[in-house]
Amino acid sequence: MKSIIVKDITKSFGSKRALDHVSLEIRGTFGLLGPNGAGKTTLMKLLATLDIPDSGIIRIDEDDLSWNEPSEVRERLGYLPQHFSIYRSLKVEEVMNHFAILKGIRGKKVRSEAINSILQSVNLSEQKTKKVKNLSGGMLRRLGIAQALLGNPQIIIVDEPTAGLDIEERVRFCRLLRKIGENRIIIISTHIVEDLESTCDHIAIMKEGKILQTGTRNKLAEMTKGLVFEMDVPFDSPIPIKEEDIISIKQLNNRYLVRFFSEASINNARTVDTCLEDTYLYITKRNLTHV
Amino acid sequence: MGKLLNFIYIIFLQFSRQPIFWLLLVGFLAYEYLALSDISSPGDVLTSTSFLVQAGILAFILFGIILVQLDHRHHLEDLYSTIERGMLFNLIGKLLFGLLLSLFFTIIFYVFYLIYYLVQGFAFNHIFISAIFYMLLYFCITFFISYFIGILIAIWIKGRLAFPLALIAWGLIGPINTSFLGIHLTTLARWLNLGEPNPSGVYNGLYGLSIDWFYWLKHFVWIVTLIVFLLIALYKTYSIIKRKTFSKLIAFSFILLLVICYGLSLDRQLYITAQDEEISRELVEFLYYQKEQPEAKSLDIHALSYEINLEINRLLKTTVNMELINNQGELNELTLSLYHDFKVKELLVNGKIVQIKRDKDLVTIPLTEKWGQDESIKLTITYEGTSSSLFYANNRAIYLPYYFNWLPSVDASPSFEVDSYGTLVRNNHQLKYPTEFVLNYEGREPLYTNIPEVKPGQFKGTSSTGLSLLSGELQERSVEDVQLVYPSDIKGNHYNEMKDSTIMLLNYVSNNLGIENLTYPKQVWKAPTLSTSDNSMEEMVWYTPETLIFSYSNSSWYIDSPAYFTYWLFPAISWKYEDIEVEDRDVFRAFDLMYCYLYNQIHNIKDEGNFLDWYKNVSSQGQKKEVLYALSDWLMENDAIEEKQLFVKDWYNLMKNNNSSWENVYKLLEKYKGV
Ligand SMILES: Nc1ncnc2c1ncn2[C@@H]1O[C@H](COP(=O)(O)OP(=O)(O)OP(=O)(O)O)[C@@H](O)[C@H]1O
Ligand SMILES: [Mg+2]
């Protein structure tokens, strides 16, 4: 399987270092997880050839493809920007046709077949003749991914695709990304962990321009095995856990269910199965590169 | 190409789905219709469309800004940049769309304009061709430049700040920018103005529209400058072009700019009407001739022939071979007159170069060998320059009449003079003897002259008055063997009324004053030069048996008031034609007024005597005053017509014999009236 090698990338804006010696191997459906300002968009823009790094290289060895030759990369690229929107008075098919021509898909018939099949796959066939201004937020985002799929690109870059969508749309969108992710590299950035749980095989967690952890979803989830506990606390008693160790507090009938980190076992607490979210919180809170 | 068209199409779709766009178009056309229905000449209407252009400029700047801001709002610049050349196609597509949109507006405007005037009964003639160029220049290119400016503003200025900037740009580049810049910055305003250069002026039926090369070059300066800014944006803002390409393109643009600026800096003649503080064409000559002019002895020599190789383009360039004959005693020097802006490059006498002395309009030629009586000499004179702004000579218009010394003239008087009450008058340099002419001509076609064309570009013939050249935004028609030449923006009606009146006056004057050869010419030209001296009735019409020239501007051959026509025509066919000179030009005026008033009276032409106030209004003293008052009183009494007729006839003879001092007129008046 092909992978994009990101090696020692640094990028600064003035004195602000947005990416700090970032190295990654991106393959399959790849999730980039990090809080606001982590540098996800900056990295995505470099990957999308919108900017060039101060130092470091990006390449695909198998294809002998280097990001120093952006025009070759662009031929294999589909990009969905963080804030995707498009001319409101155009119809969905007009938008698709516009990008299809721009991406060099020749022949009217070839184009319309490609457009139809993509719209079908993103479930927008019925909206084909609707104007952009009449689309819902989810539909607009699906149009964005449809546009990125034109020309059957090998690499798809999707920046914060679920921001602003309701739960139902978010789930649907993630399922769509999962489907698209077969046979190509797709990079998804987000700060919502759930988005990645069902879509991504490989995940990198970043913060303040640095990669804290990378690995498969399961491997990351298991990282905090034995470190996550739950305990019941009655309503009227204080919670005996330090603020920064608390993962979540759930209100049940007559008590709180508190989930928290702890290096050692604690009375009345039971170890539980860990998930990706636990690991994400654990390492971003502590800026950990090792557990 | 397909990708560019695709961008154009996408923008077009968006525009066409905005009702406001169609409203704008309809408003534009409605405004045009108002202008058309208000102004009857297809020439005038264009020079008065400045407000429309001003409005168009604003609309197009805004179009440019809005299109770029739309991309900002949708964050599309990133998306386009991930597609190979996407952003480049986007920007160029936007520009092309602007060009097409400007062209679309222009074509709509033109078609509307054309149909309107054709329906009004105008023949399709050259002005409708010139109008295409005019609209391309001042609508299409101007709108495109505005749009281009809008795009650049929006590329660099993100957000709402772009709009106040747009307003500033709009104020600076519109044809009425003097209202924003104030009259003290007229020169700057002129340079920035992308619309009609004479927005408050009038259309000149001879010169035509302001579509000189100069104005195209001025627009090109703008376009190249904007391209430079675009290149900077492509290189810096979008990183679309590489440094090497960028440097090459920038260097090329600057070379282009230099070439254009060189073109702009060349000497040339342009039609400019007086505007705000600027001095009028008339005033230029006035200021020049108001100063003392050199005098020369008048010599009894005359020209036998002129052979002229003439090229009129940006400048008038010519080599004239002329043969002169000496009708008086020996001469070792000779003085000719030639309009001062025609600079003599070389002068040969009988094939030998001589050093001339130039003093304003006079050229003094030393003769190395004595020039005896009845002997002829050959002069070869090469000169070039811009003509007087009251006698056009460039690639747009030519009006070089026989009475102007555009050719070296044996009549050694200046081209103009300022008369006793400060009016600029044109001096008559007409010839007195039959003279042969050969003219080889290169310049605007067709050229109208009073000698026949023997082959393309060559004219040959004899004239007793001189050579007249005419070309410009004109049309031609023949009526009963008479060649009529007149501005292409008028219908030229009422020719027969003019002709009948003219023939009647010609016949009367010929019999009454005994002037020979007063026949109706085979050429009648209407060449409005729109100078203020045209308001003086002695300057309205010029006559030779070959050509009748009307220089006033109105839309028909005849004028509404037949009485006035007498006053305008009469000087041309009497003392001007006979080249009579007097010391005080008021003598002419006093004489003309009386003669014409009587003529109108005798022929029952309704004449309210409006001009007669002049006798008592003009400043005068002593005998002159007495004569003028007496004449006025006499004319008010509507009897003794016969005595009056005899009186003016005798008066004319006095003038002809150089005896028309006020004293002599006084005596004559005493004889007929008894003062
Ligand atoms: N063009 C820029 N100029 C200056 N600073 C920038 C620029 N782009 C990003 N930054 C800074 O770099 C850091 C990383 O920003 P980036 O947008 O990559 O974060 P992100 O992970 O995408 O955050 P979010 O989840 O909010 O989208 C931030 O501190 C941001 O302020
Ligand atoms: Mg981001």
For residue range B602-613, what is the model confidence (pLDDT) as tens digits? 999 999 888 889
| Interchain contact A253–B (C-beta under 8 A) | no
One domain, residues A68 and A166: yes
Q: Which CB contacts under 8 angstroms, 24+ apart, belong to A124-130?
A: A124/A92, A127/A92, A128/A91, A128/A92, A128/A93, A129/A91, A129/A92, A129/A93, A130/A91, A130/A92
For residue range B108-157, what is the model confidence (pLDDT) as tens digits? 999 999 999 999 988 898 999 999 999 999 999 999 999 999 999 999 99
One domain, residues A244 and A213: no
Residue A120 lies in a domain: yes
Give CA–CA dist B459/B308, Å, rounded.
10
Residue A288 lies in a domain: no
Q: How far is the CA of A41 from the centre of ligand 1 (A)?
A: 6
One domain, residues A11 and A44: yes
Residues of B in contact with A97 (CB under 8 A): 6
One domain, residues A159 and A265: no
One domain, residues A113 and A141: yes
Instruction: Check A84 against B79: CB less than 8 A apart.
Output: yes
From B78's Cα to the closest Cα of chain A, the distance in A is 7
- Which residues belong to CATH 2.60.40.1730 in chain B? 292-470
A41 lines ligand 1 (CB under 6 A): yes
Cβ neighbours for A52, distance < 8 A, ≥ 6 positions apart? A46, A67
Asked if B174 and B439 touch (Cβ cutoff 8 Å), the reply is no
One domain, residues A133 and A185: yes
Instruction: Check A79 against B74: CB less than 8 A apart.
Output: no
Helix B86-119 vs helix B19-38: crossing angle, to nearest 10: 30
Across the interface, of B76, B78, B83, the residue whose CB is closest to A74 is B83
CATH number at residue A104: 3.40.50.300
Mean pLDDT for the stretch of residues B352-361: 94
Give CA–CA dist B665/A27, Å, rounded.
116
Residues of A in contact with B73 (CB under 8 A): 85
CATH class of B292-470: mainly beta
User: Using 50, 70 and 90 to split pLDDT, how confident is the model at B275?
Assistant: low
One domain, residues A108 and A209: yes
Give CA–CA dist B412/B138, Å, rounded.
44
Give CA–CA dist B284/B301, Å, rounded.
32
- Report whether pLDDT(B277) > 60: no
User: Using 50, 70 and 90 to split pLDDT, how confident is the model at B278?
Assistant: low
One domain, residues A93 and A115: yes
Q: How far is the CA of A5 from the centre of ligand 2 (A)?
A: 21
If one compares A134 and B672, the residue with the highest pLDDT of the two is A134
One domain, residues A211 and A239: no
Residue A49 tokens read as 């050839």
Tens of pLDDT along chain A (291 residues) come to: 688 999 999 999 999 999 999 999 998 889 999 988 899 999 999 999 999 999 999 998 888 888 988 888 998 999 998 888 999 999 999 999 999 999 999 899 999 999 999 998 888 999 999 999 999 888 998 999 999 999 989 999 999 888 778 888 888 888 888 888 878 899 999 888 888 877 888 899 999 999 988 888 888 888 888 888 888 888 888 888 888 888 888 888 888 888 888 888 888 888 888 888 888 888 888 776 665
A:B CB pairs within 8 Å: 62
Give residue for tokens 């800014």.
B229
- Report whether pLDDT(B169) > 60: yes
Residue A287 lies in a domain: no
Across the interface, of B7, B13, B84, the residue whose CB is closest to A74 is B84
Residue A285 lies in a domain: no
Residue A291 lies in a domain: no
**Confidence at residue B252, expressed as pLDDT on a 0 to 100 scale:** 97
If one compares B539 and B291, the residue with the highest pLDDT of the two is B291
A37 lines ligand 1 (CB under 6 A): yes
* Minimal-distance CA residue to ligand 1 atom 17: A41
Mean pLDDT for the stretch of residues B640-649: 89
Q: How far is the CA of B626 from the centre of ligand 1 (A)?
A: 98
- Report whether pLDDT(B202) > 90: no
Residue A51 lies in a domain: yes
**Confidence at residue B91, expressed as pLDDT on a 0 to 100 scale:** 94
Which of A157-171, B69-83, B661-675 tops mean pLDDT? Answer: B69-83
Least trusted range by pLDDT, from A220-224, B512-516, B562-566: A220-224
A36 lines ligand 1 (CB under 6 A): yes
User: Using 50, 70 and 90 to split pLDDT, how confident is the model at B52?
Assistant: confident
**Confidence at residue B291, expressed as pLDDT on a 0 to 100 scale:** 92
- Report whether pLDDT(B620) > 90: no
**Confidence at residue B533, expressed as pLDDT on a 0 to 100 scale:** 52
Ligand nearest to the CA of A40: 1
> Which residues 169-228 in chain A show a CB within 8 A of chain B?
none
**Confidence at residue A290, expressed as pLDDT on a 0 to 100 scale:** 60
Least trusted range by pLDDT, from A253-257, B253-257, B344-348, B433-437: A253-257
One domain, residues A100 and A201: yes
From B73's Cα to the closest Cα of chain A, the distance in A is 8
Domain holding A258, by residue range, is 226-273
| Interchain contact A75–B (C-beta under 8 A) | yes
Cβ neighbours for B303, distance < 8 A, ≥ 6 positions apart? B322, B323, B324, B325, B410, B431, B433, B435
Mean pLDDT for the stretch of residues B535-549: 89
**Confidence at residue A83, expressed as pLDDT on a 0 to 100 scale:** 85
Question: What are B349's strand-pairing partners?
Answer: B352, B379
Three-state DSSP class for residue B56? helix
- Report whether pLDDT(B56) > 80: yes
Give CA–CA dist B56/B50, Å, rounded.
10
Mean pLDDT for the stretch of residues B656-666: 89
User: Which of A176, A201, A220 is the last residue before a domain boundary?
Assistant: A220
Q: What is the rounded average pLDDT for all residues in chain B?
A: 91
Residue A280 lies in a domain: no
**Confidence at residue B418, expressed as pLDDT on a 0 to 100 scale:** 86
Question: Three-state SS string across B139-189, please?
Answer: HHHHHHHHHHHHHHHHHHCCCCCHHHHHHHHHHHHCCCCHHHHCHHHHHHH
Instruction: Check A48 against B3: CB less than 8 A apart.
Output: no
End-to-end Cα distance, chain B: 91
